[in-house]
Structure 1
Amino acid sequence: MLDMIIRNGQVYDGTGNPWTYLDVGIKNGRIVKLGKLHEQEAKVEIDAKGLAVSPGFIDTHVHSDLLCTKPDIHKIKVLQGVTMELLGQDGISVAPVTDQTKPLWQKQLRGLNGDIGEWPWHSIEEYLDFLSESALAGNVTYLVPHGAVRTLVMGFEGRRATNEEMQKMRELVEEGMRQGAVGLSSGLIYPPNLYSCKEELIEICKGAAKYDGCFVVHMRNESNHILEAIDEMLDVARGSGVRLHISHFKVIGRRNRASFQKALEKMDQARAEGIEVTFDQYPYTAGSTVLHALLPPWMHDGGTEELLAKLKDEDIRSKIKADFDHNHDFENWVESCGWGNIVIASVTTEKNRAAEGKNLLQIAAMRETSPADAVFDLLLEENAGVTMVISWGEEADITNALGHPLQIVGSDGIFGGKPHPRLYGTFPRILGRFVREQQILTMSEAIRHMTGAPAQLLRLKDRGYIAEGYWADIVIFDPNTVADQATYEEPLLEPIGIHYVLVNGEMAVNNSIFTGKTAGKVIRREEISLKIT
């Protein structure tokens, strides 16, 4: 007898093929039979007539590195069909650390990743062991974060690495890969990653390439200099042999929209050249990150403590304001988007809770000060633990990239306060708004972008597809009703139309309700085959 049979559903296998009518038989957490299973019986049967049966969605850009251990908070991921997440993003994550660097990263990441108290780990292996012993609603896997490695070698120093330091960083990347990471990440607008040069990136990427890992990167610029930033990343891929994946691809600022198509063309040309490049994208015209990312690069030298000390100096404040107004050489969100398009998403104290959901012009008016001084004061009052939402572009640019064969869906969701609605709505929004309503891409194409394509990126051996022998990470949803409900005004509204979600064959979502099951696993590199299904 089987453990479960899903009958009568329209099965999308994750390859991009059209759906087909198949019953899905599950035993011991895996898919063991596909076909017309009339003669088979199971302990649990689901009638999926009129519903779509898909592999579980794989979110390739998240910030759940700590809160994935809190199912009551993290459950929104499985409620929208996500059964696997790629942790360790933007080069700024929680391992590896030492006793000296751990408190620096705890402070640096509090606004981005939340706070679960003490971190009982140092190495990537110890961190992954900690996750394995935690209650996980979904599966997770990990990237070696560039910034964590760089601080082990040279702290938060704002300078170019020596050749010897670059080699030490590469060796640490290799160690992280051997301990189970599936690739390397960097975020080249975040300290200390932003101080790295192309040569450093090439050297550390060799460490990931040695183990067929990917390089997942928030590029140095996504606005005025995006084309140069893409060229830099393609040079890194050429020089190291690494597989390149560009995070949350977009072009910031309406005046830069002409660069959007040119950027896609550069990636197509790189593919034609033989460079394995992909990108992920969230289906919204606003982004979200930590508030201190507004500040120019020179402010981040020395880490968060020094940044906060500098913000108390009026001369330094004046210099930052001048950069906001006139400096085009860094990722100047203020110049590209304007104060009115920057909204505070979360703070850490009750004192400033009223700021959540308000833009910086409104907050400046409340405080009777300038928007820049409002930013400086908020960062000081919150010990830098503030996140923001920034409107950056037009939906036409999103739809232009959604159907591109290199596109993969990633939410970049951040927990806390009044978050960006992508945390609660990314995957159902693709299926409802952009498949059913706007018909930008077909259902089978959309599901490939959420399942088979990220499985290929991560070199997953037995996940990402509905196939015999694969783990039963499965989503069952109504293609006629599935939709996001989260908005910028009410970002905590759960999606509709997703009826069942299985994680490793266990029912995580039943009739659109989280069951409390925590069957998620930590997927380590040594468990992943180099074979691509």
Structure 2
Amino acid sequence: MLDIVIRNGQVYDGTGNPWTRLDIGIHDGRIVKIGQLHDSEAVRVIEAEGLAVSPGFIDTHVHSDLLCTKPDIHKIKVLQGVTTELLGQDGISVAPVNEQTKPLWQKQLRGLNGDIGDWPWNSIGEYLQFLSRSTLAGNVAYLVPHGAVRTLVMGFEGRRATTEEMRKMRELVEEGMRQGAVGLSSGLVYPPNLFSCKEELIELCKGAAKYDGCFVVHMRNESNHILEALDEMIDVARRSSVRLHISHFKVIGRNNRGNFQQALEKMDQARAEGIEITFDQYPYTAGSTVLHALLPPWMHNGGTEELLAKLQDPEIRRRIKDDFENNHDFENWVESCGWGKIVIASVTSEKNRVVEGKNLLEIAEMRGTTPADAVFELLLEENAGVTMVISWGEEEDITNALKHPMQIVGSDGIFGGKPHPRLYGTFPRILGRFVREKEVLALSEAIRHMTGAPAQLLRLKDRGYITEGYWADIVIFDPLTVTDQATYEQPLLEPIGIKYVLVNGKLAVDNSSFTGLTAGTVIRNEEISLKIT
């Protein structure tokens, strides 16, 4: 007897092919039969007439590294059809650490990844074991974070690495890959990653490529110098033979929109050259990150503790304000977007909860100060545990990128406070607004961008497609009603139209409600698993 049969659905297999009317039989967590199964007995039959049946969505950019262990908080991911997430993003995550760097990263990441108390791990292997013992609503995979590796070798020093330091960092990357990571990540606007040179990135990427890992990167610049930043990343991939994946591809600021098409063409040229390159993107014209990302690079030398100490110096504040107004060489969000488009998403203290959802012009007026000083004060009061939402572009750019064959859907969702609506709405928004309403791309192709394409990027051997023998990560939704409801004003509204979600053959979502079943698992580097067995 089968555990579950899904009958009469419109099956989209994840390849981009049009749907086929097929039944799906599931047993022991896997898809065991596909065909006409009307005579097959099952413990549970799901009647999917008129519904789309798709592989579970794979979110290639998340910040669920800690809160994935809290199903009551994390359940929003399965409620929008996400069955697998890629952790360890932007080069700033929770492992590897040691007893000296752990408290630094706990403080630095509190605003981004949340707080679950003590971290009972140091190595990537220990962290993945911790996740394996936790209750996970969905599956997770992990990237070796560049910044965590760098701090083990160099601390938060704002300088180039020596050849010997690069060698040690590469060894740590390779160790993380052997322990199960699926690739390497960096965020070249975040400390300490931003202090690295191209040669350091090439050396570390060689370590990831040795174990067939990918390189997932927030580029050094997404505004005035985006084309140069993209050239740098393509050359890193060329010289290291790593698969390159650009995080949350966008072009910041109206004055730079002309670079959008040129950037896409550069990626096409890289593919033609033989470099495997892809990018992910969220379907919104605003981004979200930590508030201290507004500050110029020189402020990050030494880490968060030193940053907060510097902010108490009036002369340093004056220098930062001058950079906001006159420095075009770094990712200057203030110059590109303006104070009125920077909104505080979350703080850690109750006393400042009133600023959540307000932009920096409004907060400055509330406090009787300048927007820059409001930033400085909030960072000090919250020990840097503040996130923001920034409006950066136009929807036309989103639609142009969505249609590109290299595009993959990634939410970049951040929990806490009044978050960016992408946390609750990314995948249903693609299906509702951009597929059904705007007809930007066919439903079959949109599903490929959410399933088969990320599975190819991560070299997943048995997920991302509806195929016999594959794990039963499946989402069933109504293509006529599916949509997001979360907005910037009300970002915690759940999507509609996602009817059923299976994770490893277990119903995580039944009739649009979270069941409480936590069948998620840790997905480790397949090459390493083969070697271990």
Instruction: Work out whether the TM-score is over 0.5.
Output: yes
Amino acid of the residue matched to residue 76 of structure 1? I
* Partner in structure 2 of residue 146 of structure 1: 146
Say whether the 8 Å CA contact 1:461–1:529 is kept in structure 2: no
Amino acid of the residue matched to residue 298 of structure 1? W
Tell whether 2:481 aligns with 1:481.
yes
Superposed, 1:43-54 pairs within 5 Å as 43-54=43-54
Deviating above 6 A after TM superposition, structure 1's stretches of 4 or more consecutive aligned residues are 527-530
* Partner in structure 2 of residue 36 of structure 1: 36
Question: How many Å separate the matches in 2 of 1:28 and 1:429?
Answer: 32
Tell whether 2:393 aligns with 1:375.
no
Displacement of 1:39: 1.8
Amino acid of the residue matched to residue 401 of structure 2? A
* Partner in structure 1 of residue 295 of structure 2: 295
Say whether the 8 Å CA contact 2:324–2:334 is kept in structure 1: yes
Amino acid of the residue matched to residue 467 of structure 1? T
Deviation by residue 1:147-197 (Cα, 9 ceiling, x = unmatched):
000000000000000000001101100000000000000000000000000
Question: How many Å separate the matches in 1 of 2:338 and 2:493?
Answer: 28
Superposed, 1:302-341 pairs within 5 Å as 302-341=302-341
* Partner in structure 2 of residue 263 of structure 1: 263
Question: How many Å separate the matches in 1 of 2:164 and 2:84?
Answer: 37
Q: RMSD of aligned C-alpha atoms?
A: 0.8
Superposed, 1:449-528 pairs within 5 Å as 449-526=449-526
Amino acid of the residue matched to residue 247 of structure 1? S
Deviation by residue 1:507-532 (Cα, 9 ceiling, x = unmatched):
000010000000000000137899xx
Amino acid of the residue matched to residue 374 of structure 1? A
SS in 2 for 1:350: coil
* Partner in structure 1 of residue 277 of structure 2: 277
* Partner in structure 2 of residue 438 of structure 1: 438
* Partner in structure 1 of residue 224 of structure 2: 224
Say whether the 8 Å CA contact 2:180–2:529 is kept in structure 1: no
Deviation by residue 1:80-104 (Cα, 9 ceiling, x = unmatched):
0000000000000000000000000
Displacement of 1:360: 0.1
Tell whether 2:355 aligns with 1:364.
no
Deviation by residue 1:202-261 (Cα, 9 ceiling, x = unmatched):
000000000110000000000000000000000100110100000000000011000000
Question: How many Å separate the matches in 1 of 2:365 and 2:48?
Answer: 54
Overall identity of the aligned pairs, in %: 85
Question: How many Å separate the matches in 1 of 2:65 and 2:302?
Answer: 24
Question: How many Å separate the matches in 2 of 1:117 and 1:388?
Answer: 23
Question: How many Å separate the matches in 1 of 2:4 and 2:231?
Answer: 49
Say whether the 8 Å CA contact 2:460–2:526 is kept in structure 1: no
Tell whether 2:431 aligns with 1:427.
no
Say whether the 8 Å CA contact 1:85–1:140 is kept in structure 2: yes
* Partner in structure 1 of residue 9 of structure 2: 9
Say whether the 8 Å CA contact 2:96–2:149 is kept in structure 1: yes
* Partner in structure 2 of residue 206 of structure 1: 206
* Partner in structure 2 of residue 402 of structure 1: 402
Amino acid of the residue matched to residue 111 of structure 2? G
Amino acid of the residue matched to residue 120 of structure 2? P
Question: How many Å separate the matches in 1 of 2:407 and 2:258?
Answer: 19
Question: How many Å separate the matches in 2 of 1:37 and 1:496?
Answer: 29
SS in 1 for 2:351: helix
* Partner in structure 2 of residue 161 of structure 1: 161
Say whether the 8 Å CA contact 2:70–2:135 is kept in structure 1: yes
Deviation by residue 1:262-309 (Cα, 9 ceiling, x = unmatched):
000000000000000000000000000000000000000000000000
SS in 2 for 1:231: helix
Say whether the 8 Å CA contact 1:460–1:528 is kept in structure 2: no
Question: How many Å separate the matches in 1 of 2:118 and 2:172?
Answer: 23
Amino acid of the residue matched to residue 119 of structure 1? W
Deviation by residue 1:469-528 (Cα, 9 ceiling, x = unmatched):
000000000000000000000000000000000000000000100000000000001378
Question: How many Å separate the matches in 1 of 2:506 and 2:39?
Answer: 23
Residues matched between the structures, number? 530
Amino acid of the residue matched to residue 304 of structure 1? T
* Partner in structure 2 of residue 65 of structure 1: 65
* Partner in structure 1 of residue 345 of structure 2: 345
Say whether the 8 Å CA contact 2:212–2:527 is kept in structure 1: no
Say whether the 8 Å CA contact 2:4–2:25 is kept in structure 1: yes
Amino acid of the residue matched to residue 390 of structure 2? I
Structure 2 unaligned blocks of 5 or more: none
Say whether the 8 Å CA contact 1:461–1:527 is kept in structure 2: no
* Partner in structure 2 of residue 182 of structure 1: 182
Displacement of 1:38: 1.8
* Partner in structure 2 of residue 126 of structure 1: 126
Structure 1 unaligned blocks of 5 or more: none
Deviation by residue 1:35-55 (Cα, 9 ceiling, x = unmatched):
001221100000000000000
Question: How many Å separate the matches in 2 of 1:381 and 1:449?
Answer: 41
